[in-house]
Amino acid sequence: MDTTLGDPQAPLVGQLLDGRYRVDACIAIGGMATVYRAVDTRLDRVVALKVMHPALAVDATFVERFIREAKSVARLDHPNVVGMFDQGADGAHVYLAMEYVAGCTLRDVLRERGALCPRAALDILEPVLAALGAAHRAGFVHRDMKPENVLIGDDGRVKVADFGLVRAVDTETNSTGTILGTVSYLAPEQIEQGTADTRADVYACGVVLYEMLTGAKPHSGDTAAQVLYQHLNEGVPAPSAAVPGLAARLDGLVASATARHPDDRPYDAVALLGQVREARAALSDAELDAVPPQALPSGPMDSRAAGAGSSEDRTDVIRRPLPAAGINRTSRLVMPPAEEPEPGRQPVRRGRRTRRGLVASVVAVLLVLGVGAGVWYINSGQFTRVPSLLGQPEKAAKSRLSAAGLDVKKTEHKFSDTYDRGQVMSSSPASGARIRDNDAVSLVVSRGPEIVRVPHVGGEPLAQARQDLKKAGLASGMVTKEFSEDVDRGKVIRTDPASGTRHAGSAIALVVSKGAPVDVPDVTGESLEDARADLQDENLKVVVAPGRINSPEDAGQIAKQSPADGARAAEGDTVTLTVSKGPRMITVPDVTGDNVDDAKSALTDKGFKVHVDKPFLSFSDTVDTQSVDGGSQAPEGSTITIKTKGL
């Protein structure tokens, strides 16, 4: 069986895949898979089909992890994540059927328009972070965030694509000194160690934000090695350096997300989303709508398929640099030394070849061709290829082997979270491998998922609970926290599914205690010493904010607190106090002779409270006197009494 891709443009267009999906057009071609637009003929709906290149589909371990990740992502029900509908295999073609989003990618937008105004950039980034945040809290890491994987629908919806495949390949290639990713968006720890957590996605989002604000990538070079070197040794520059006039808060967002050390970044997409929303709230309309200058597109359009992108934008397997060569975090790129001739030996002239050497080369080529033709002739009838067996029922797989003239050597049964009971998980030799006629093939058949009992981890510290789940063959999933009167802070309250339940090997959600709830007391208006004592009596920690602010409270008293009065906190939580430096002194406007309503508006606009004193039997609406003369100073927030004239 030929395991090459065939026509690199659109090998499946016009075919009916798996008897169900009519492939209509090629959407994009990547390093690992090709994406097609297809019609699900059973449900009569348009879908996007991601089909792994057949050369990868013969690797049983890779396929199993690919499918397992796809099933996990299918459980991510989020409006900003591309939905997963189906998974299957048809011969050498392993595929995913996903939601089809009519529109374009963020890469298309950047090529067409260059830099975006900050408001548009944040409008795109926020739903991206919401999608990643849902994944991060469910225990998934995307590992290949880039503009190609941000889809923008014709209706304006933003969705993140390509969950799952990236993680599976990364896990597979980790031990071989390679990583899967896109060089322009790799975090330093991905390059150095080949592993990544949620903070690697945060880094990539920071690079994407920089690119949206400036229209260009922060690092560039003639080779991938040059770009990787810059990620390791140079920080991402401030966007305002490329686009003067951008707000400093945008520079801060990019700097926070792309810190070279992962501990200096927001710990996941949810934390970064909080920073983004805080920054947006602090930006003025003028700063949000600042029109960027025209920027050069970030790369040429790939004529093969929309969204295919340049080589820098493709997801590829990249060899990690070794400590002694390639890229070093503390030194320059190490280049191979130039060849030097041995003493007394003339250097070889590469551009010329002796007549004797040329004749010898021609003779050697002819000999190889002759011998090769003979060997091919002798062996042509003695070899065949193992047919496609992955995912086939055991009986069907044996029939395929028999039809190919091959016997079954032995059959082994193993547990699998991916393959249904009775399906072939792998074979030796693998599908597509060259094998002698009448030889035998060993099969590994699925026993279905291993059903295990969820261990009792209630009352255990989170780290211990995770270890116990791992020992039981289960993964720890999303962790949520809630108050508990009975369970100490930081320990597990319960699991979902519950302890003792029989469960197939997948993620177990954990609920962790925040401790007993504490009603935060109101300490505004108190002295710092009294406020600190009141909060410590409730087992709350106190932090005093740097600097003082103007407020209606007297100087030295607490102006505000966070969390505020009435909020619920856990024992040991921190309350931040801000101390007042007293109210601002404001010039009181002169409102005598003004209409009462106009006078009230003028005074409240300045920050004063107003009391109207209207004498008995007064029919006047004109201010006769005011308690503080116009032009005098009074504390902001103080009360000014205005009085009308009586009879």
**SS3 annotation, 533-595:** HHHHHCCCEEEECCCCECCCCCCCEEEEEECCCCCEEECCCEEEEEEECCCCEEECCCCCCCE
| Beta strands across the sheet bearing 609-613 | 609-613, 639-644, 623-626
Angle value at C-alpha 271, between 520 and 545, nearest 5 degrees: 45
CA distances from 300 to 8, 318, 328, 355 (A): 19, 22, 30, 46
Q: Which of 30, 28, 92, 88 is nearest to 55 (CA)?
A: 92
Q: Specify whether the CB–CB gap between 452 and 484 falls below 8 A.
A: no
Q: Which of 589, 590, 637, 647 is nearest to 614 (CA)?
A: 647
Angle value at C-alpha 372, between 368 and 376, nearest 5 degrees: 175
Q: Specify whether the CB–CB gap between 276 and 129 falls below 8 A.
A: yes
d(CA 317, CA 325) in angstroms, rounded, equals: 19
Cβ neighbours around 370 below 10 Å, total = 10
Backbone angles phi, psi at 243, to 5 degrees: -125, 85
Cβ-count burial of 603 within 10 angstroms (0-12 exposed, 13-18 middle, 19+ buried)?
A: buried
DSSP state of 115: S
Pairing assessment for the beta strands 609-613 and 45-52 based on DSSP bridges = unpaired
Q: Which of 119, 110, 67, 62 is nearest to 89 (CA)?
A: 67
Alpha carbon 60 to chain centroid, angstroms: 27
From 144, 162, 201, 594, active-site residue: 144
> Catalytic annotation on 496?
no
Q: What is the dihedral of CA 601, 602, 603, 605, to 10 degrees?
A: 80
Kind and range of the H or E run holding 274 = helix 269-282
Q: Specify whether the CB–CB gap between 462 and 485 falls below 8 A.
A: no
3-state SS, residue 446:
strand
Give 487's contacts (C-beta < 8 A, 6+ positions apart): 458, 459, 493, 513
Q: Specify whether the CB–CB gap between 333 and 232 falls below 8 A.
A: no
Torsion sign, CA atoms 536, 541, 546, 547: negative
Q: Specify whether the CB–CB gap between 524 and 559 falls below 8 A.
A: yes
Supply 53's token pair: 């290149």
Q: Which of 305, 303, 301 is nearest to 27 (CA)?
A: 305
Q: Which of 180, 169, 238 is nearest to 206 (CA)?
A: 238
Q: Which of 545, 536, 486 is nearest to 516 (CA)?
A: 486
Task: Name residue, tokens 């040329």.
Answer: 358
Residues acting as catalytic residues: 144
